[in-house]
Structure 1
Amino acid sequence: MASSNDIKNGTVIKEAGQLWSVIEFQHVKPGKGGAFVRTKQKNVVSGKIIDKTYNAGAKIETANVDRRDFQYLYQDGADFVFMDQTDYDQITVSSVVVGDAANYMLESQQVQIGLHDGEPLYLEMPASVVLEVTYTEPGLQGDRSTGGTKPATLETGAEIQVPLFLNAGTKVKVDTRTGDYLGRVND
């Protein structure tokens, strides 16, 4: 057990059977009354954000979440198999935990997985990845980079919007958080 005075960014608190990660915290000592700690917390599994206040010195239960580097190996039905980069153990992660990251993962992709008691809680991708466009309508003479956009299918099967001048076979940089096109990549 820890106290509310030990709260800092990144602390994972176990409350009502759920894990909450502290995003922001502020120790407040008003002129009148007792001190307290104001926090903004994010649910580790669902991503929901809440504001929570603790009295100074209140007992809280912290959880140990281990973030480790993994390499994506392959998809096994609805699940994904990853290899730990330190001890080469393989773990299977459900598609619920992987979520939208599956749209941007290629085999041998490096990711970080948060584990609590050996159970995968969440998966973090790099901020951007380089993927090849496998299909898009051909560009036309006069299409400009400042013009509109068109749909393009990536090598992972995901569909994003790209500028009109891009053609199939082009490598593009994609933001893994939003799925936005960031630019063309020259080899």
Structure 2
Amino acid sequence: MKLKAIQLRKGNIILFNNDLYVLTEVTHITPGKGQAVVQTKMKHIQTGQNAEKRYRPDESVEKAELETRKMEYIYDEGDDLIFMDQETFEQIPMHKEFLGDAIYYLLPNTVVDVNFYKNQPIGVELPLSVDLRVVETEPTLKTATVTSSYKPAVLETGLKVQVPPFIEEGEIVRIDTRDGKYLERVKE
């Protein structure tokens, strides 16, 4: 699918030099003199290599045609996480390294959107927040208030976050998957 460069947005996946890249930054530059340009920064989907490209606003860019499937993370198998398609029940492995930091937000039975390009998985779209149990943190201080500083905690997936001082081991907290920050305590 062709897009005009002026239509590009952060997060779009495009074909650049016959490879898939995700746009990490898109800046529209309109100088006082001369022609406007669209400056992009992007990251190669497989290698993580960064690239930059300037486009004229009316220049055509090939947006990758992705298929999205609802898949359930079901279990670990060595260095792979196994996902099951919610419609066909087909199971596919995805390497932990390929998933990157997403592994810290996945518990068995979590349903996510998996993006495919030409029948190959290229990424996972996490929900905006996840609820995870605190497995390790310093004891609650009796003098702690909501406004005092945060303390480190380790969650059941191994994710390390800063939580308010009143949070104790065993409690469930809601975490923002975009930045890995504590949102709130979850009542069981």
Which residue matches 2:87?
A: 86
Normalising by structure 1, what TM-score? Answer: 0.79
1:3 is displaced (CA, Å) by: 7.3
Asked whether the equivalents of residues 3 and 63 of structure 2 are also in contact (C-alpha less than 8 Å), the reply is no
1:18 is displaced (CA, Å) by: 1.6
1:77 aligns with 2:78: yes
SS in 2 for 1:129: strand
Distance across 2 between alignment mates of 1:12 and 1:157: 29
Distance across 2 between alignment mates of 1:186 and 1:3: 46
- Alpha-carbon distance change, 21 to 148 in structure 1, aligned in 2, over 3 angstroms: closer
Which residue matches 2:38?
A: 38
Moved over 4 A (4+): 1-12, 21-26, 54-58
SS in 2 for 1:88: coil
SS in 2 for 1:139: coil
Asked whether the equivalents of residues 81 and 93 of structure 1 are also in contact (C-alpha less than 8 Å), the reply is yes
Q: What is the CA deviation profile of residues 136-173 of structure 1, one whole-angstrom value per residue up to 9, with x for unaligned ones?
A: 22112111111112221211122211111111111101
Larger radius of gyration: 1
Distance across 2 between alignment mates of 1:149 and 1:47: 35
Distance across 2 between alignment mates of 1:117 and 1:108: 26
Which residue matches 2:54?
A: 52
1:98 is displaced (CA, Å) by: 0.9
Asked whether the equivalents of residues 27 and 39 of structure 2 are also in contact (C-alpha less than 8 Å), the reply is yes
Matches within 5 A, 1:47-126: 48=50, 50-54=52-56, 56=58, 61-126=62-127
Distance across 1 between alignment mates of 2:176 and 2:3: 38
Structure 2, gaps ≥5 residues long: none
Normalising by structure 2, what TM-score? Answer: 0.78
1:14 is displaced (CA, Å) by: 1.8
- Alpha-carbon distance change, 56 to 141 in structure 1, aligned in 2, over 3 angstroms: closer
Quick one: percent identity of the two aligned structures?
32
1:177 is displaced (CA, Å) by: 2.0
Distance across 2 between alignment mates of 1:139 and 1:95: 34
Which residue matches 1:137?
A: 138
Aligned pairs, number: 182
Asked whether the equivalents of residues 5 and 57 of structure 2 are also in contact (C-alpha less than 8 Å), the reply is no
- Alpha-carbon distance change, 173 to 5 in structure 1, aligned in 2, over 3 angstroms: closer
Q: What is the CA deviation profile of residues 85-138 of structure 1, one whole-angstrom value per residue up to 9, with x for unaligned ones?
A: 222111111112211011121001111111111211111211110111122221
Q: What is the CA deviation profile of residues 17-43 of structure 1, one whole-angstrom value per residue up to 9, with x for unaligned ones?
A: 3213567697x9xxx98xx87364643
Question: What RMSD over aligned residues (CA atoms) do the two structures have, in Å?
Answer: 3.2
SS in 2 for 1:82: strand
